[in-house]
Amino acid sequence: MTSREHPKAFVSYIHDSPQHCDAVREFSTFLRSEQGIDVILDQWASDQRQDWQAWATKNILESDFVIVVASEGYQRVGDGYGPNDRNLGGQAEAATLRNLLQGDRQDWTRKLLPVILPGHSVHEIPQFLSAHTNDHYPVTSFTPEGADSLLRHITRQPRHPLPPLGPLPVLPPLSGAGAAVATPAPERNRTALLEEFPVVWRADLLRRGRQSQSPLVEVHLVPAERVARFGVLQLERVSEGLVALGRSRRLFTQTQSVSAISSDESARAVSEDWRSGESGLAVLRGGQRTCWFGLPAANIGWILDREHLAAQIADRLHTLLEIDLPLPGRFAPAIALEPVSLTRIAKIAEISATSAPLPMNVPEHIRVEAEEAFPTSDLRHSIRGVAEELVARLAAAFRR
């Protein structure tokens, strides 16, 4: 919470249409009457003659937060594309906010809250608010669940509070007197699954008839215990974040076209442009986390370099664990390759070779089921070993 009992928030918006003004007023009423936030809105201060620029500046400076409601009109005004003789009040407010942000970026980045109401998109947030590098707040409905991220920021109630700091570990030396002979974490902590936890493979997840243009490696983390299904609203909120996460972890390039999709069964970020590389990141309602990416293309077919692929899979496992949803206690990893044709096991150094044998009679796809479970906390510390084991099983199935 702020120092006030009820945080104060000024609502900045553009009068795009009577319908938009009505929606902003309904949203502001929800925040004020149902959520205890002291909202300042021009529609409630219009019963007497005002110097609106002075009124807005005073309330912006006195408020704990300024809610900027995204709309086509605000995007034009905020970026300086709007006609000079329209939305004069909005132009003045946007200029004031730009000036304050430039003067104290740390404080005003915290205070300026871009909000996306139903029917609007992130593209309607003006550029000076840096919506793609800083947080923005989609409001899917005027309910606590629909405005969860915004309410948590304003009221300082994080989804995941910082745990208390524990004691430093006492670690034995790795050599010399007192050194312990340690068993690698994957061998020590993995356990065979006592019941079946089936994998939802990429082909089943996408349910598309078109086959990939190139071999794709699929990596899956399946909850190895009975867990509560995620809510559809949780999946909606996380779908946009999957795009940003995938770009930050280099699963997608910064210029690649990526679609954010959510349904009643999954949230996905998918690039299907075979020219820039098919790849994807997904989380299912049942808790499975999945990603896929292409093998390196060579002069002849595609190359499966075990060492190179293990490093990639280790990075992808880290990515899956970073998806902003609750984690189960145990995960069972799985891997697949589809399609398999024109793929050969070789070293990346052979990528330019103009002659090479291609395996014959290969299957349409290779799927290594989830067979063993790892405690999630241990998996983070033994990811490279897990990745190498997955690649070894994939290679063994490839040669079979």
Which of the residue ranges 22-26, 364-368, 380-384 would you say has the lowest mean pLDDT?
380-384
Percentage of the residues of the chain whose pLDDT score is greater than 90: 54
- Tell me the pairing of strands 330-338 and 216-223: antiparallel
Residue 291 included in any domain: yes
Q: Are residues 124 and 195 in the same domain?
A: no
Cβ contacts of residue 391 below 8 Å, gap of 6+?
A: 306, 309, 310, 313, 335
pLDDT digits (tens, 9 = 90+) for 79-119: 887 666 676 778 889 899 999 998 999 999 999 999 999 99
Residues 362/395, Cβ–Cβ less than 8 Å: no
Higher pLDDT pick, 167 / 257: 257
Residue 172 included in any domain: no
Q: What is the pTM of this model?
A: 0.54
Residue 109 included in any domain: yes
Q: Are residues 30 and 124 in the same domain?
A: yes
Cβ contacts of residue 142 below 8 Å, gap of 6+?
A: 26, 27, 30
Q: Are residues 234 and 138 in the same domain?
A: no
Q: Are residues 195 and 98 in the same domain?
A: no
Residue 309 included in any domain: yes
Find the angle CA(368)-CA(370)-CA(376) to the nearest 5 degrees.
135
Q: Are residues 203 and 141 in the same domain?
A: no
Q: Are residues 132 and 43 in the same domain?
A: yes
Residue ending a domain, among 128, 155, 182, is: 155
For the chain, the helix, strand and coil percentages under 3-state DSSP, each to the nearest 5: 35, 20, 45
Residue 50 included in any domain: yes
pLDDT digits (tens, 9 = 90+) for 189-215: 666 655 678 899 998 998 765 567 789
Question: What is the torsional sign of CA 81, 18, 148, 226?
Answer: negative
Residues 215/294, Cβ–Cβ less than 8 Å: yes
Q: Are residues 312 and 228 in the same domain?
A: yes
pLDDT score recorded for residue 164: 81
Indicate the helix (H) or strand (E) that contains 56: helix 52-62
Give the CA distances from residue 48 to residues 29, 51, 52, 76, in Å, rounded to whole numbers and listed in that order: 20, 10, 11, 29
Q: Are residues 46 and 119 in the same domain?
A: yes
Give the CA distances from residue 284 to residues 123, 288, 362, in Å, rounded to whole numbers and listed in that order: 27, 5, 30
Find the CATH number of the domain harbouring 127.
3.40.50.11530
* Residue 59 lies in domain: 8-155
Cβ contacts of residue 60 below 8 Å, gap of 6+?
A: 10, 12, 66, 93, 96, 97, 100
pLDDT score recorded for residue 49: 84
Q: Are residues 128 and 228 in the same domain?
A: no
Tell me the average pLDDT across 166-174.
73
Interatomic CA distance for residues 379 and 389, integer angstroms? 13
Residue at token pair 């024109």: 342
Number of folded domains that form the chain: 2
Confidence of residue 130 (pLDDT cuts 50, 70, 90): confident
Confidence of residue 382 (pLDDT cuts 50, 70, 90): confident
Residue ending a domain, among 109, 128, 155, is: 155
Residue 2 included in any domain: no
Residue 324 included in any domain: yes
Q: Are residues 212 and 315 in the same domain?
A: yes
Q: Are residues 21 and 95 in the same domain?
A: yes
pLDDT digits (tens, 9 = 90+) for 303-328: 999 999 999 999 999 999 999 999 99
Residue at token pair 């998806």: 323
Residue 61 included in any domain: yes
Q: Are residues 121 and 256 in the same domain?
A: no
Give the CA distances from residue 280 to residues 104, 119, 205, 207, 292, in Å, rounded to whole numbers and listed in that order: 38, 26, 11, 14, 5
